[in-house]
Amino acid sequence: MEWNQEQDVLILAVESSCDETAAAVVKNGREVLSNVISSQIALHTQFGGVVPEIASRKHMEKINQVIAQALKDAGVSLEEITAIGVTYGPGLVGALLVGVAEAKALAWAAKKPLVGVHHIEGHVSANYIEHPDLEPPFVCLIVSGGHTHLVVVRDYGEFEIIGRTRDDAAGEAFDKVARAVGLGYPGGPKVDKTAKEGNPHAVEFPRAKVEGSPYDFSFSGLKSAVLNYINKARMTGQEICVPDLVASFQNAVVEALVSRAVLAAKEYGYDKLAIAGGVASNSALRAAMEEACAREGLKFYRPSPIYCTDNAAMIGAAAYYEYRKGVRHGWDLNAVPNLKLGER
């Protein structure tokens, strides 16, 4: 990969907010020179979800080799890096701390600027990687394991939150339903795959609307409806068709997400609509968004699935724009588990 030390900004990015230990080298916020992800999924599967203590320990074990690999894959040395970007929130505190401590140590030793990044800003910025034409302003639907937000991206790193979930995040709903039907962890990808064999109209689940807040979401009612359906079937001895059930659940989630995202883009007068976060890798959501955007004359942006779920390339993209704005963090940078979007 070509780069020029005088002109190009090379960010070494580190991400450890949940269960992936990740590092990447990103050039000028858009070009990924390397993207290394060490997933802990297999380790947490036996417990049915992420065990925070295990996640932190595994991050500590892996982080040095993941960073070394990212530099090696990119063909650059630490000295050639312009700045170090790191996720400092939101996420699991013990997990975040590993990345933050590592990034601080590296930045201090190599005398490089340190740029702390909001994890969700990272997810949104994943869209810049493969879409060189995408620039703010645009509307973005952020759907991850912990967040469901509808935002106007006013500028790089500048967000106006116009809608949010009132209860469960979309990813959380996927994970809980997957567990209830015995698909296990991680739920989202398993529901996605199983739903392909099911009929999305087999069961008509309720579509919740939040009174007076057209851009807000609510998934707890839907989750309860799925659980009730399962309990009722078990009590009456009826067999459950899991593919039909999860396809119908997924369809209800997708409809809620797509309808609000498209409405927001139209009402706020933007012709660009992006999606971000782990759930943005869902094949039904991607297809439905594509179709709705084509119908409504909106330009649709989505990262490749590998940049939707947690990774460090997206953190490198976000860190670049923060760096360009002059954001620098000191050695007192700490993990902030409940960091709000737009806070620095």
Residues that bind Zn ion (CB under 5 A): 144, 310
Check binding of 188 to ligand KG4 (CB under 6 A).
Answer: yes
Least distance in angstroms from the C-beta of 80 to ligand KG4: 30
Least distance in angstroms from the C-beta of 285 to Zn ion: 16
174 interface partner picked from Zn ion, ligand KG4, none, CB below 5 to 8 A per type:
ligand KG4
Q: How far is CA 87 from CA 83, 102, 313, in A?
A: 14, 11, 11
C-alpha span between 261 and 48 (Å, rounded): 31
| Residue 228 burial (C-beta neighbours within 10 Å; 0-12, 13-18, 19+) | exposed
Check binding of 171 to ligand KG4 (CB under 6 A).
Answer: yes
Check binding of 189 to ligand KG4 (CB under 6 A).
Answer: yes
C-alpha span between 15 and 276 (Å, rounded): 16
Question: Is the Cβ of residue 83 or residue 95 nearer to ligand KG4 in the bound state?
Answer: 95
Question: Is the Cβ of residue 18 or residue 153 nearer to ligand KG4 in the bound state?
Answer: 18
Among 146, 157, 163, 198, binds ligand KG4 (CB under 6 A): 146
Listed ranges 42-50, 67-75, 139-147, 221-229: which one lies at the site for ligand KG4 (CB under 6 A): 139-147
Among 29, 157, 163, 187, binds ligand KG4 (CB under 6 A): 187
Least distance in angstroms from the C-beta of 73 to ligand KG4: 21
Q: How far is CA 335 from CA 95, 100, 148, 310, in A?
A: 9, 7, 21, 17
Tabulate helix, strand, coil % of the chain (nearest 5): 45, 20, 35
For 177, phi and psi rounded to 5 degrees? -65, -40
Residue 167's closest CA among 176, 157, 155? Answer: 176
Check binding of 282 to ligand KG4 (CB under 6 A).
Answer: yes
Least distance in angstroms from the C-beta of 281 to ligand KG4: 5
Check binding of 198 to ligand KG4 (CB under 6 A).
Answer: no
Q: How many residues bind ligand KG4 (CB under 6 A)?
A: 19
Least distance in angstroms from the C-beta of 175 to ligand KG4: 5
Of the chain, the end-to-end C-alpha distance in Å amounts to: 32
Question: Is the Cβ of residue 71 or residue 126 nearer to ligand KG4 in the bound state?
Answer: 126
Among 31, 121, 175, 216, binds ligand KG4 (CB under 6 A): 175
C-alpha span between 97 and 269 (Å, rounded): 40
Check binding of 15 to ligand KG4 (CB under 6 A).
Answer: no
Sign of torsion over alpha carbons 198, 172, 98, 318: positive
Residue 272's closest CA among 143, 124, 165, 157? Answer: 124
For 193, phi and psi rounded to 5 degrees? -70, -45
Structure tokens at 98: 């590993």
Among 15, 102, 168, 310, binds ligand KG4 (CB under 6 A): 310
Check residue 201 and report its DSSP letter: T
Listed ranges 68-76, 106-114, 143-151, 223-231: which one lies at the site for ligand KG4 (CB under 6 A): 143-151
Question: What residues between 262 and 281 interact with ligand KG4 by CB under 6 A?
Answer: 277-279, 281
What residue ranges bind ligand KG4 (CB under 6 A)? Answer: 18, 144-146, 171, 174-175, 186-189, 192, 277-279, 281-282, 309-310
